[in-house]
Amino acid sequence: MKKMMKIKMAFVLTAMTAAIPLSVLAQSNSAEQIYNQSLAATCASCHGTGGVSVAGANMPKISDLTHDQIKKSLIEYKTGARQGTIMPQLAKGYTDEQINVIASVLGKKN
């Protein structure tokens, strides 16, 4: 009986997962994730996809910075506390909330 239960359990699980593509179980971004990733992707044009600057580009590698470091830099650029060429001009175009989202998406995870 106990063995049979195990078989039934396995069947139920198999039947359910078979009806749902495996990739669905492993994926599907929420709407918020898509919004946030596309917002952070505005930075990728200069800083590389995901903030990973390509070798030899001489561009700060954002993905090596933490959330707090990115947020601090952008806020400082925005307020004028930090000098630069383009970043002070661009940072002023984002809300503080957007800066926080960008830092969350691009910042080092651990």
Partner 1 sequence: MNRRLFMGQSAALIGAASAFPAFAAQASNLQKAKIIVVGAGYGGATAAKYLRTLSNNSADVTLIEPQGEFVSCPISNLVVGGSQQISALTTPYDGLVKKYGVKMVKDSVSKIDPVKKTVQLASGAVMPYDKLILSPGIGLMLDKVDGLAEANKAGITLQAWKAGPETVALHKQLAEMPDGGVFALSIPLAPYRCPPGPYERACQVANYMKKNKPKSKVVVFDANPGITSKGKLFQAVWDNEYAGLIEYRPNSNVIGVDAKTKTLKFELSDDFQAAVLNVLPPMRAGGLVVDTGLANANDRWAQVNFLNFESTVAKDIHILGDSIQVAPAMPKSGHMANQHGKVAAAAIICELSNYPVNPNPVVTNTCYSFVNDRDVVHVASVHQYDAVEKTFKTVPGSGGLSPEPNALEGVYAWGWAKNIWSDTVG
Interface residues with partner 1 (CB under 8 A)? 2, 5-6, 8-9, 12-13, 16, 19-21, 23-24, 26-31, 34-35, 37-39, 41-42, 44-49, 53-54, 56-59, 85-86, 89-94, 98
Least distance CB 58 / partner 1 (angstroms): 5
Angle (CA) 22 25 30, round 5°: 135
Least distance CB 66 / partner 1 (angstroms): 21
Which residue's CB is nearer to partner 1, number 59 or number 108? 59
Six-digit token string for 64: 């090596």
Residue with tokens 């990739």: 23
Rounded distance, CA 110 to CA 102, Å? 16
Six-digit token string for 37: 């990733």
